[in-house]
Amino acid sequence: MSAPAWYAVHVRSNQERTTASFLEGRGIAHFLPTYRTLSKRRDRRVVLTRPLFKGYLFVHLDIETPERVQVLKAPGTVRIVEFGGRAAPVPEEIIHSLEILVGEGPDDVRPHPLVREGQRVSVLDGPFAGASGKIVSTGGRKPKLVVEVEFLGRAVAVPIAPDQVEPIFE
């Protein structure tokens, strides 16, 4: 037997709570980090609780025990996340940090796209919405979006908040 560890479980779209409820009923330790967001309806505003990682939740178990089968049989479960054909444990520090962030300020926590320097992005929000370009970093300052006009050998840069962009996968 191996030591219990945290594992990410991939679940079907909008099935995070169903899977978590099933695991709860079986006594399997799990963690579904959520955040609260305001949703506008025609006649009112509603506060919704959504999963922080859409399509995923975390379980704490010894991967070599029958609990693993219970997780795989849970409604909505697609698979336990693997790398190289083996279940990939999530470091305890990451789970601990997520618990702190979600526990202290579920109204302040938001999902954020993983955007790296040099990556092509599309702007979703703000005065530059609709533009696309590359993210560049300038010595610890606010990231900048660069729109290149390659055939002229020129570029334009504007400051942009990371939460205003989403990655473009080519």
- Domain ranges within the chain, ordered by starting residue: 5-104, 120-167
The predicted pLDDT at position 167 comes to 83
For residue 96, pLDDT over 80 is answered with yes
- Which has more confidence, 104 or 94? 94
pLDDT tens-place string over residues 2-45: 789 999 999 999 999 999 999 999 999 999 999 888 888 888 88
The predicted pLDDT at position 112 comes to 67
CA distances from 63 to 60, 66, 70, 125 (A): 9, 8, 11, 42
CATH no., domain 120-167:
2.30.30
The predicted pLDDT at position 111 comes to 77
Q: Are the folds of 5-104 and 120-167 the same?
A: no
Buried b or exposed e, range 9-31, using 16+ CB within 10 angstroms: bbbeeebbeebbebbeeeebebb
- Which has more confidence, 45 or 110? 45
Q: Does the structural domain 5-104 have CATH classification 3.30.70.940?
A: yes
pLDDT tens-place string over residues 50-92: 998 999 999 999 999 999 999 999 999 999 999 999 999 999 9
For residue 149, pLDDT over 70 is answered with no
Task: Confirm whether pTM is higher than 0.85.
Answer: no
* 96 CB burial (10 A radius; 0-12, 13-18, 19+): exposed
